[in-house]
Amino acid sequence: MSSALRAEVGQIDVDAIVVGAGGAGLWAALELAREGIPTAVLTKLYPTRSHTGAAQGGVCAALGNVEEDHWEWHMFDTIKGGDYLADQDAAEVLAREAIPAVIELERMGLPFNRTSDGKIDQRRFGGHTRNYGEGPVRRSCYAADRTGHMILQTLYQQCIKAGVKFYDEYHVVDLVFEGGEADKGGRCSGVVGYKIADGTLHVFRAKAVLLATGGYGRAWRVTSNAHSLTGDGMALAWRHGVPLQDMEFYQFHPTGIVGTGILLSEAARGEGGYLINDAGQRFMESYAPKLMELAPRDMISRAIYQEIRAGRGIGGKDYIHLDVRHLGRKVIEEKLPDITELARIYQGVEPISEPVPVQPTAHYAMGGVPTNLETEVLADARGNVVPGLFAAGEVACVSVHGANRLGTNSLVDLLVFGKRAGIRMAQICKSTPQPGSVQGAERAVRDELLALSTRPSGVRPAEIRRELAALMMDNVGVYRDEALLGAAVKGIAKLKGEYANVRVEDTGSVFNTDLLEARELGYLLDTAEATAVSAYARTESRGAHSREDFPERNDAKFLAHTLVWQGSDGAPATKLDYKPVTITKFEPKARVY
Amino acid sequence: MSAQKYSISGRPRPTGSRVDLYVWWAVRISSLALFVLALAHFSMTHFVFDPGIQSAEWVRQTRWNSITLRVLDWGMLMAVLVHGFLGMRTVMQDYVPSRIRQASLIGLYAIALLLFVLGTQVVVTLPMD
Amino acid sequence: MTQGSSPLASPQKLRNYPSYRGGEGMVAWAFHRISGIGVWAFIVLHVFDIWLIGANPALYDALGEFYSSAPGRVMETLLGAALFYHALNGMRIVVMDFWPALTIYHRGLWRAVWVTFFTFGLPGAYIILKPIWEMAA
Amino acid sequence: MASATQVELKIQRFDPERDSEPHWQTLTVPVEPMDRVLDLLTRAKELFDGSITFRRSCAHGVCGSDALLINGRNRLACKLRVEALGRTITVAPLPGLPIVKDLVVDMEEFFDKFRSVQPYLVAAPVEGDGERIQSEEQRDRYDDTTKCILCAACTTSCPSFWAQPEYVGPAAIVNAHRFIFDSRDENADTRLDILSDENGVWRCRTTFNCVEACPRGINITKAILEVSSAISARR
Ligand SMILES: Cc1cc2nc3c(=O)[nH]c(=O)nc-3n(C[C@H](O)[C@H](O)[C@H](O)COP(=O)(O)OP(=O)(O)OC[C@H]3O[C@@H](n4cnc5c(N)ncnc54)[C@H](O)[C@@H]3O)c2cc1C
Ligand code: HEM
Ligand code: SF4
Ligand code: F3S
Ligand code: FES
């Protein structure tokens, strides 16, 4: 009988471990390499296949290459865009350090588009303004419509140059703690990796472990996220007593391809595309008369839902039209080539002559593993850190995005905090002794994986995944209320019960994707639970979290970050706490555009 | 410095050899020569004169009764030896298993040498009228 | 430096590849290679038979009989076709080698090769083959 | 959407722990109007056989995970509409690389070759705190080859690579080209050295399978010929 796991166990000692090789993980690895810290980068995909490569729009930094700009303006936009939930010290770091980070990327070789005098070119992007909201500003640095791709490639190239040691297609299946779990003052001392190619477990010991595993958009049915974005880092930390922060804030991008959710970038509206309902009206005029189609993402997504609910979706169905026909063939083909291609391939629609059906698509997690400005993971609302554990990128919540992220700010987040993570980890590695032996640390997860792969009968993971995705889409989507969220919490608990009986068909040890997908489903259930529970408890509307039963923002009670802990022994999560928002420069105001 | 290393990974260190560069040029240049010479030769032997009349005697008395034509034909032989055999070298590098590749290539070059000798001999020694 | 490779991976067999559905470029290459080898094989023979003019004229003439016979003429036609295609496509390659920007027109160039091939090749074939039915008649 | 039709999906299967040779499995899979081959594979895995193994991630043609041999051509499964393929769809792993399992090939050699061309900017540190200056024309010079997502569709469609797996292959040359023609880079000479031996650019026979297979529409053959011209142009 073959088994999904081989008996032999690898033991690897390094100083630092980076889990995930997207933008955040790669930059951290690069900093560690520069400091000469022995580092292992583990990634379940080849690095160049990380989802950072999907980002098209650009990366904002107040370089002022084409018009006047200041990092304070960028900071303000970030905070206002986030409905004042962003920590302002963090937003300041983001806006300030974006500038040297982008310059450094250029020096690493990133092929930015250029101005006529040879500098990095910049263009407009939703929500980024001049002089504290006066009008749009050219702040987004870009490389054609492949900025994320170029960031990912450039960082990977530099890692090769620096001799970074990669463990490609190693699936991290557990974190190792010594001295108790995170909520009991324990220290993270390593990770357990499952080598996909041959089914062996490897225990990695290190002084510092970075989670850079990206988001969990696959919890929703209609999503712009890759199949691999299953919240692994968040769930693993959660299972070891780390709280998750602000999970109720999940961004829906207004223009996803109907059914699949593949993203049609904001550029379509930036170039002047309209959103049209069944009656042929540009309905945004009744929601954001000034900015129309360029209002922030959360607002447009809500408007689309309102239309659909009022029966004004196209043909009464659950989508509306994105119309670019009036822009003319030339603009469409030259400025929006990727969008045109996506619509043609994935929807069979010709944007030059037909309107494109779109609907909001699950896109980005504002919440995640709480960290301080040095990317150290926090154990509680008082700011105590979990020794040895770090997080950066979409998996983390610093929080710079607050309740709603602005376009391009995610890439900035990766760069700034990925770099900070590497620098901080290098310091820690130099001043800390190696943790104690991690021998046998793989036992718990080995048992879990064996249980998954040897169960003779049970439910297929795909069924649970489908139900979860539908539940999250219907109940934890753009609009929420007590009834929907209550049902979601219950429904997730039920699915978790079924998950305990899930059955994997592939019993081999070589490239067992069946087993790993089942494992990932467990992570999705955890992150979905954290999301639903946090959303249920937040009885206000702010940014992407929109409660119909509580339509107003409530600063008196909820100008605070949610922290939620996993329930013990498989019980639903009930432990929540709130942490005040750091306010330095900008007092919360009503958010009008 | 890592920048100085050729391959951080498993790919064998490139030899930095320029042989294949020269081969590439030789094939291109000889192909230009052949385009003229070989096509002219074929036209001559098939369209200008019918193969039916081209006996050994005819070749000696008519075709090769001119130094120029002999030199041109010999030049074509040289071009073919360069082009055809370097071309075959490429084909063999592709399909002959590495165990016997070296030996086969030596065999190929031996044939080329033989053709050089035979061809040159007949061009030089065949008496003219 | 990575650690990902699989010890059990199984190499694929060369014999599966001809089923790849390549485009014009692949067909052009395959023809070029086959015609090149064919012409090469003929030329090895041909240099040898030319050598016979000096060494053994009688044998050469016997061979010449064959060249002008019906099967010989068919073979000559094929040889001419191979050489002519190879020459034209060879020029197509050389042109792209020296002007890489022309690669976007590689299909057009290939079509031009065939147009030229048939424009000159068909009359040529007629001239070579004509004696066969003249002989028969 | 109604699942009006179904197609025959022929998948090449190989489990190294059971099989000595790959074999074919044929499944009748329901299709929906906008399905791509990746949807079909996913559905087959979910409905019929969880052990069907393939790589995938982004699902919209930007990560390069799911390049496969589909109906005789290398294509990204997530970018190829089922509609365009007829009633029978044949899916096999990329040709020329060792098969790990089913549709998954061992990519290590491929990435080794990529790394061997020094695919990273090498340049002296810059003074001051601004960016390097590069004109729009200088940037356009290498724009095309920056698009590569390392999917391996090109290299594994190349007859020269099938014949000689030592051939560095179009993907690696594309990535070398990206730096050789970047005005900021100072290492072009070394890369040209690396690519000038028997397994470098000279193995390209301008077959154009690579160009035809590239999901990013890169003119790979042009890039290769530009590199070989650069090699022959230097002293
Ligand atoms: C379609 C799309 C377009 C976008 N466009 C923009 C944009 O224009 N501008 C912008 O700012 N943002 C954009 N975003 C958001 C942004 O791209 C992402 O938030 C960001 O790239 C996340 O980067 P990351 O480094 O955190 O993680 P990712 O790039 O997602 O990488 C995750 C890494 O973790 C690894 N990993 C995950 N789990 C495990 C595990 N268990 N074991 C080992 N490794 C693991 C993966 O292999 C991968 O290497 C976009 C997002 C999408 C989906
Ligand atoms: C008549 C004019 C000819 C021209 C213009 C020509 C041109 C070329 C060119 C450009 C190549 C290189 C192909 C590549 O690199 O992909 C080539 C290859 C080759 N040629 Fe010729 N050639 C000619 C005649 C001949 C003749 C007479 C022979 C036979 C002796 C021949 C045999 C070959 C062979 C064997 C190859 C290698 C094929 C391959 O690599 O696929 N060629 N030719
Ligand atoms: S050049 Fe094209 S086909 Fe080749 S690896 Fe890159 S993206 Fe894939
Ligand atoms: S398929 Fe191969 S031969 Fe050259 S043109 Fe492409 S690399
Ligand atoms: S899944 Fe990413 S390219 Fe197809």
- The CATH number that applies at residue D172 is 1.10.1060.10
DSSP B47: I
Of A488, A466, A464, A465, give the one whose Cα is nearest residue A475.
Answer: A488
**pLDDT tens digit string along D172-207?**
999 999 999 999 999 999 999 999 988 999 999 999
Q: How far is A111 from chain B (nearest CA, A)?
A: 20
Q: Tell me the pairing of strands A396-397 and A369-370.
A: parallel
Burial of A318 (0-12, 13-18, 19+ CB in 10 A): middle
Euclidean distance between the first and final Cα of chain D, in Å?
64
Question: Alpha-carbon distance A453 to A516, whole Å?
Answer: 10
D116 shares its domain with D229: yes
Of A55, A61, A57, give the one whose Cα is nearest residue A138.
Answer: A61
Residues 6+ away with beta carbon under 8 Å from B127: B60
Q: Which of B31, B42, B122 is nearest residue C53 as measured by Cβ atoms?
A: B122
Domain boundary residue, one of D105, D137, D159:
D105
Whose alpha carbon is nearest atom 3 of ligand 3?
Answer: D214
Q: How far is D174 from chain A (nearest CA, A)?
A: 13
A48 alpha carbon, closest ligand: 1
D136 shares its domain with D190: yes
Measured from the Cα of D161, ligand 4's closest atom is: 2
Count of alpha carbons within 13 angstroms of residue A120, beta-carbon side? 31
Q: Does B3 touch chain A (CB under 8 A)?
A: yes
Domain boundary residue, one of D90, D105, D120:
D105
Given this model, what pLDDT does residue C5 score? Answer: 56
Given this model, what pLDDT does residue A288 score? Answer: 84
Are C108 and C80 a contacting pair, CB within 8 Å? Answer: no
Given this model, what pLDDT does residue B11 score? Answer: 57
Angle at D62 between CA D56 and CA D65, to 5 degrees: 25
pLDDT at residue C3 greater than cutoff 80: no
Ligand 1 pocket residues where CB is under 6 Å: A 19-25, 42-45, 47, 50-52, 54-57, 148, 171-172, 212-215, 224-225, 228-229, 232, 263, 363-364, 393-395, 407-411, 414
Are A337 and A309 a contacting pair, CB within 8 Å? Answer: no
Given this model, what pLDDT does residue D4 score? Answer: 59
Q: How far is A196 from chain D (nearest CA, A)?
A: 11
Euclidean distance between the first and final Cα of chain B, in Å?
72
**pLDDT tens digit string along A372-397?**
999 999 999 999 999 999 999 999 99
Given this model, what pLDDT does residue B3 score? Answer: 33
Residues 6+ away with beta carbon under 8 Å from A540: A547, A550, A552, A553, A554, A557, A558
Phi, psi of D122, rounded to the nearest 5 degrees: -120, 115
- For ligand 4, the distance from its centroid to the CA atom of residue D201, given in whole angstroms, is 9
Residues 6+ away with beta carbon under 8 Å from A125: A57, A58, A60, A139, A140, A266, A270, A406, A407, A408
pLDDT at residue B16 greater than cutoff 90: no
D101 shares its domain with D117: no
Q: For residues D38 and B50, which has the higher predicted lDDT (pLDDT)? A: D38
pLDDT at residue B12 greater than cutoff 80: no
Rounded to 10 degrees, the C-alpha dihedral C44/C49/C53/C56 comes to 120
Question: Alpha-carbon distance A394 to A364, whole Å?
Answer: 8
Residue C5: list chain A partners with CB under 8 A. 197
Measured from the Cα of C94, ligand 2's closest atom is: 10
Mean pLDDT of C55-62: 92
Are B62 and B50 a contacting pair, CB within 8 Å? Answer: no
Bridge partner residues of D73 (DSSP): D70
Full domain range(s) for residue D23:
5-105
Structure tokens at C15: 């014999």
Q: How far is A197 from chain C (nearest CA, A)?
A: 5
pLDDT at residue A221 greater than cutoff 80: yes
Ligand 3 pocket residues where CB is under 6 Å: D 64, 148-154, 170-171, 174, 213-216, 218, 220
Residue A158: list chain B partners with CB under 8 A. none
Of A356, A355, A345, A351, give the one whose Cα is nearest residue A329.
Answer: A351
Of D121, D113, D88, D214, give the one whose Cα is nearest residue D173.
Answer: D113
What is the CA A6 to chain-centroid distance, rounded?
Answer: 33
pLDDT at residue B5 greater than cutoff 50: no
Residues 6+ away with beta carbon under 8 Å from A249: A85, A365, A366, A367, A401, A402, A403, A404, A542, A543, A544, A545
B8–A163 C-beta distance less than 8 A: yes
Residue given tokens 């930007």 in the structure block: D62
DSSP B45: I
Given this model, what pLDDT does residue D168 score? Answer: 95
Q: Tell me the pairing of strands D67-70 and D73-76.
A: antiparallel
Which chains have 3+ CB pairs within 8 A of D? Answer: A, B, C
Mean pLDDT of D98-125: 94
What is the CA B70 to chain-centroid distance, rounded?
Answer: 17
**Residue A576, H or E segment:** strand A576-580
Whose alpha carbon is nearest atom 39 of ligand 2?
Answer: C33
Residue given tokens 């790589």 in the structure block: D55
- Cα distances from A147 to residues A10, A340, A433, D147, D216, in angstroms, run 37, 18, 39, 11, 15
Q: What is the average pLDDT score of chain A?
A: 94
Instruction: Determine the residue type at D57.
Output: S
Question: Alpha-carbon distance D139 to B37, whole Å?
Answer: 44
Mean pLDDT of A516-541: 98
D113 alpha carbon, closest ligand: 3
The fold for domain C24-136 equals: 3 helical TM bundles of succinate and fumarate reductases (1.20.1300)
B42–C90 C-beta distance less than 8 A: no
**pLDDT tens digit string along D139-173?**
999 999 999 999 999 999 999 999 998 899 999 99
Q: For residues B18 and A172, which has the higher predicted lDDT (pLDDT)? A: A172
Instruction: Determine the residue type at A307.
Output: E
pLDDT at residue A107 greater than cutoff 60: yes
D41 shares its domain with D97: yes
pLDDT at residue A132 greater than cutoff 60: yes
Measured from the Cα of D55, ligand 5's closest atom is: 1
Number of domains composing chain D: 2
Question: Alpha-carbon distance D161 to D169, whole Å?
Answer: 6
Which of A297, A465, A480, A519 is labelled catalytic?
A297
Strand, coil or helix: C118 = helix
Which chains have 3+ CB pairs within 8 A of B? Answer: A, C, D
Euclidean distance between the first and final Cα of chain A, in Å?
64
Q: Which of C26, C32, C44, C48 to mutate to test the pocket of ligand 2 (most atoms within 8 A of CB)?
A: C32
Q: Does B52 touch chain C (CB under 8 A)?
A: yes
Measured from the Cα of D74, ligand 3's closest atom is: 3
**Which residues of chain D from 175 to 234 reach within 8 Å of chain C, CB to CB?**
205-209, 211-212, 219, 221-223, 225-226, 228-229
Q: Which of D46, D81, D115 is nearest residue A345 as measured by Cβ atoms?
A: D81
Q: Which of A112, A505, A511 is nearest residue D49 as measured by Cβ atoms?
A: A505
Confidence of residue D235 (pLDDT cuts 50, 70, 90): low
Name the residue ranges covered by the structural domains of chain B: 15-125
Q: How far is B82 from chain D (nearest CA, A)?
A: 17
Q: Supply the Cα-derived Rg of chain D in whole angstroms.
A: 20
Measured from the Cα of D155, ligand 3's closest atom is: 4
Task: Beginning with the edge strand found earlier in the chain, give each strand of the sheet holding A274-276 in spatial order.
Answer: A250-257, A356-365, A320-323, A274-276
Q: Considering chain A, what percentage of its residues have pLDDT values greater than 90?
A: 84
pLDDT at residue D1 greater than cutoff 60: no
pLDDT at residue A231 greater than cutoff 80: yes
Whether A297 is catalytic is yes
Are C47 and C106 a contacting pair, CB within 8 Å? Answer: no
D162 shares its domain with D118: yes
Q: Does D126 touch chain A (CB under 8 A)?
A: yes
Are D187 and D181 a contacting pair, CB within 8 Å? Answer: no
**Which residues of chain A from 504 to 533 reach within 8 Å of chain D, CB to CB?**
504-514
D17 shares its domain with D47: yes
pLDDT at residue B8 greater than cutoff 80: no
For the ranges A484-488, B35-39, D128-132, which has the lowest average pLDDT? D128-132
Peptide bond into D57 cis (omega under 30): no
Mean pLDDT of A30-54: 97
Question: Alpha-carbon distance D51 to D18, whole Å?
Answer: 13
> Which of D97, D111, D117, D194 would you mutate first to test chain B, the one with the most B CBs within 10 A?
D194
**0.90 surpassed by complex ipTM:** yes
Given this model, what pLDDT does residue A482 score? Answer: 97
D36 shares its domain with D138: no
Are D127 and D154 a contacting pair, CB within 8 Å? Answer: no
Euclidean distance between the first and final Cα of chain C, in Å?
76
Structure tokens at C136: 């028969």
Of B14, C100, A34, A52, give the one whose Cα is nearest residue D118.
Answer: B14
Are A299 and A270 a contacting pair, CB within 8 Å? Answer: no
Measured from the Cα of D62, ligand 5's closest atom is: 3
Out of 3.30.2350.10, 1.20.1300.10, 3.30.70.20, 1.20.1740.10, the CATH code matching B15-125 is 1.20.1300.10
Given this model, what pLDDT does residue A2 score? Answer: 56
> What are the start-end ranges of the E strands in A437-551?
479-480, 546-547
Question: Alpha-carbon distance A413 to A418, whole Å?
Answer: 8
Phi, psi of A293, rounded to the nearest 5 degrees: -70, -5
Residues 6+ away with beta carbon under 8 Å from A269: A126, A255, A275, A293, A294, A322
A346–D36 C-beta distance less than 8 A: yes
Are D226 and D233 a contacting pair, CB within 8 Å? Answer: no
Residue B2: list chain A partners with CB under 8 A. 161-163
Q: Tell me the pairing of strands D104-105 and A122-130.
A: unpaired
Given this model, what pLDDT does residue A33 score? Answer: 98
Residues 6+ away with beta carbon under 8 Å from C133: none
Q: Does C3 touch chain A (CB under 8 A)?
A: yes
Q: Which of C9, C30, C33 is nearest residue D99 as measured by Cβ atoms?
A: C9
pLDDT at residue D47 greater than cutoff 90: yes
D30 shares its domain with D127: no
pLDDT at residue A429 greater than cutoff 90: yes
Are A19 and A235 a contacting pair, CB within 8 Å? Answer: no
Given this model, what pLDDT does residue A39 score? Answer: 97
pLDDT at residue C18 greater than cutoff 90: no
Q: From the CB of D221, is ligand 4 less than 6 Å away? A: yes
Q: Does B97 touch chain C (CB under 8 A)?
A: no
> Which of A46, A108, A161, A168 would you mutate first to test chain B, the one with the most B CBs within 10 A?
A161
Q: What is the average pLDDT score of chain B?
A: 88
Confidence of residue B127 (pLDDT cuts 50, 70, 90): confident
- For ligand 2, the distance from its centroid to the CA atom of residue D157, given in whole angstroms, is 23
Confidence of residue B6 (pLDDT cuts 50, 70, 90): very low
Residue C124: list chain B partners with CB under 8 A. 46-47
**Which residues of chain A from 19 to 48 reach within 8 Å of chain D, CB to CB?**
45-46, 48
What is the CA A231 to chain-centroid distance, rounded?
Answer: 8
Question: Alpha-carbon distance A537 to A534, whole Å?
Answer: 5
